[in-house]
Amino acid sequence: MIKRIKQYGSIYGAFVSTSFSEAMSFRAHFVLLIVMDLVFYGTHLWSIDILYDHIHLIGTWRREHLLFFASVMLAINQLTMTLVSENYWQFPLMIRTGNFDFHLVKPVSSIFLTFFRTIRPGSMFNMAFTAPAVVYFGLQVDLGFWAWIALPFGIVLGFLLQNSLEMLFSCAMFWMIDGTGVNFIRIEFQQLARWPDFVYPSMLRGALTYLVPVLLIGSAPVRFLLAPSDFWPILGLVVFLLFFWALLGFFWRMGLLAYESASS
């Protein structure tokens, strides 16, 4: 087991190294990626701030609560952008061109090779924005000592659930060949998760919590951090995470059976 972890660790180290080399050879693009993410973060937070100039509450949340939630979602988004997002766009291209064949002949999990091959080093630097934003708004909502300890774990759990779901959606690309539509839907689901669960009407909230649990990505950790007695959603997140990871394995195998290689 330890040998296997070491093997995957060394492969991932090589992925990181090659991604950095590639990013450094296209410097303007590298800088633009950083600016692009910052522009998105800035406009998102500013929109919420402008909105609260005209209202006092959304549900029971004041400005600082929603800004804290938004900053946690941005931190999850930043992790996704850095570690996985590029691969969702490359995957359908590999299926269409038949380059996916090369992943199948290597003695490593094809899920690992597909979704963790490329990282975006530029987005990594944006942690310098998202981390202080989470801390700043965390201070504004008076997080307790244990909430501060739990905060990074909550963000990582949200990141893991988001990407388990998105990898599962991406399995559809095996059958659809072109992945644009799936990537479009994937991004729309990210939009749904960008707002707290209480915003949605009860039936929709139920569907987006228990069927396609995108609302747990941000709402479960934040609700737990704001009120530790509200721990059921985060427990649900962990259960769903395990469930969707198992489901991903099943659908991935089905997808591999449907994959027709370069002649498709």
Partner 1 sequence: MKVYLAKWGATMAVTWSNLLVYRVNFILQSIAPLFVFLLVKLSLWYRIYEGQPGLIGGYSFGQMAAYHLWVMITGLLVFNGNSQRISEDIRLGRITSYLIYPFSLWEFHGAGFLARTLLQTGIAIFTIFAALALLGGRLESPSFGPFVLGLLLAILGGVFWFWINYWVGLVAFWLEETWTLMVMLQIVTYFLSGAIIPLELYPEWLRTILLYSPFPYIAYGPAQLMMGNLEGVGRAFLVLGFWALVASWFAQWVWRRGLRLYTAAGI
What is the contact surface with partner 1 in residues (CB under 8 A)?
Answer: 26, 28-29, 32-33, 35-36, 39-40, 43, 46-47, 50-51, 53-59, 176-182, 184-185, 188, 191-192, 195, 198-201, 204
Nearest approach, Cβ of residue 16 and partner 1 (Å): 20
Q: Among candidates 57, 92, 51, 95, which has minimal Cα distance to 259?
A: 95
Nearer to partner 1, 107 or 201 (CB): 201
Nearest approach, Cβ of residue 107 and partner 1 (Å): 33
What's at 174, amino acid-wise? Answer: F
Nearer to partner 1, 148 or 188 (CB): 188
Nearer to partner 1, 5 or 50 (CB): 50
CA angle 258, 261, 262 (to 5 degrees): 145
Nearer to partner 1, 85 or 110 (CB): 85
Q: In sequence order, what E strands does 11-152 have?
A: none
Nearest approach, Cβ of residue 13 and partner 1 (Å): 25
Nearest approach, Cβ of residue 59 and partner 1 (Å): 6
Nearer to partner 1, 178 or 239 (CB): 178
Token look-up 């910052």 returns 38
Q: Which residues pair with 61 in a beta bridge?
A: 58
Token look-up 């990013």 returns 23
CA distance 28 to 97: 28
Nearer to partner 1, 167 or 182 (CB): 182
CA distance 169 to 161: 12
Nearest approach, Cβ of residue 153 and partner 1 (Å): 28
Q: Among candidates 57, 51, 206, 48, which has minimal Cα distance to 133?
A: 48
Nearest approach, Cβ of residue 40 and partner 1 (Å): 5
Nearer to partner 1, 12 or 40 (CB): 40
Which residues lie below 8 Å from residue 14, measured CB to CB, with a gap of 6+?
Answer: none
Host H or E run for residue 177 = none
Measured between alpha carbons, how far apart are the two ends of the chain, in Å? 37
Nearest approach, Cβ of residue 178 and partner 1 (Å): 4
Q: Among candidates 152, 155, 124, which has minimal Cα distance to 38?
A: 124
Whether the Cβ atoms of residue 204 and residue 62 lie closer than 8 Å to each other: no
Q: Which residues pair with 102 in a beta bridge?
A: none
